[in-house]
Structure 1
Amino acid sequence: MTTEQAAPQGAPDVTTNADNTQLWVERTGVRRYTGRNSRGAEVLIGSVGDEASFSPGELLKIALAGCSGLASDSALRHRLGDDVDVTIHVSGMADDEQDRYPALLEELVVDLSALDAAARDRLLTVVHRSIEQHCTVGRTLEAGATVQLTVTGER
């Protein structure tokens, strides 16, 4: 049985995002979805433990780490070169009672041995500031966001 609900007055247009990229997921099997964007990218979404797919919680964590990487990339490249190796590990355990992640931990791994102490401290300050100011995912998680679901018939 399908429940249909009209979009509330003033509801946001969920077909596009700020850069006009469309995002959607399609069911591809039992507890299996494929996330897609209008630029042709896709990601497999499934339950924890499903082979060759990300769980939604893993995607949330990957989005945070990727956003931090993109936000800090310019500063890291500027001071360490265009070929700088950067890895960002991200983790966080779900609180099953609240069905949420109460804390997420990131570790940005980059070789800073070529910098003296003062240059290292300056770079770390710039990296932290860049992430705090420009990582939309982190800023959204810290501030919280409203979520609105509308169930409709086929488009």
Structure 2
Amino acid sequence: MTSVPDERFPLPEGFGPGSVWADRTGHRTLVGRTQRGVEIPIGHGEGEVNPGELLKLALIGCAGMSSDVNLSRRLGDDFAMRLWAHGTSDEADNRYLSIAEEVQLPLEGLTEKEIATVVKVFGRAVAAGCTVERSVVPGIEVTHRVLGAETDAPEEQA
């Protein structure tokens, strides 16, 4: 199902594949929409996602999608994965100074060498394939950590 904005405003010249839009629904509230018909309530109220949460969700969503194929080769097609993003904006600078990402994977039964390979594969896949991070990182530090891996050191950015 393809969706386009209603006719309250003309389509901008740049409207095309990948365009998204948000319509104001009230004081500091919007509904974000995609051309695939997805709607996301944006704001700070109940049932709404705030812009900082959207940023963090975009980062971990991209990390998960970027690493999925490579991780499935090592962990199986139906592996479980949960990604987290932590960070709050700095009120003085009115920006995020850092966002910490963590991923939980089924590491039980893997050797230390296999775990190290999974960590490396995850980091490389995200560094190479995550368009969102590649766009954001020059402005803020984004770190990754595979929870349960032997080392607690953040994965180096490639």
Cα deviation for residue 88 of structure 1 reads 0.5
Residue pair 1:65, 1:89 contacting (<8 A) in 2 also:
yes
State the TM-score, normalized to the length of structure 2: 0.76
Matches within 5 A, 1:3-152: 13-16=13-16, 20-47=17-44, 50-144=45-139
Higher RCO, Cα 8 Å, sep 6+: 1
State the Cα deviation string for residues 108-132 of structure 1 (Å, max 9, x = none): 0111113222222112111100001
State the TM-score, normalized to the length of structure 1: 0.77
4+ residue runs over 6 A deviation: none
Partner SS, residue 104 of structure 1:
strand
Cα deviation for residue 13 of structure 1 reads 4.9
- Aligned equivalents of 1:82, 1:52: Cα separation in 2: 32
Instruction: Work out which of the two has the higher radius of gyration on C-alpha atoms and give 1 or 2.
Output: 1
State the Cα deviation string for residues 27-60 of structure 1 (Å, max 9, x = none): 112211000011111111002xx10010001100
- Aligned equivalents of 1:79, 1:35: Cα separation in 2: 36
- Aligned equivalents of 1:75, 1:141: Cα separation in 2: 23
Partner SS, residue 46 of structure 2:
coil
- Aligned equivalents of 1:141, 1:22: Cα separation in 2: 18
Letter of the structure 2 residue corresponding to residue 14 of structure 1? G
Residue pair 2:71, 2:121 contacting (<8 A) in 1 also:
no
- Aligned equivalents of 1:135, 1:93: Cα separation in 2: 22
Residue pair 1:21, 1:39 contacting (<8 A) in 2 also:
no
Gaps in structure 1 of 5+ consecutive residues: 1-11, 145-155
The structure with more strand, counted as a fraction of residues: 2
Identity, % of aligned positions? 38
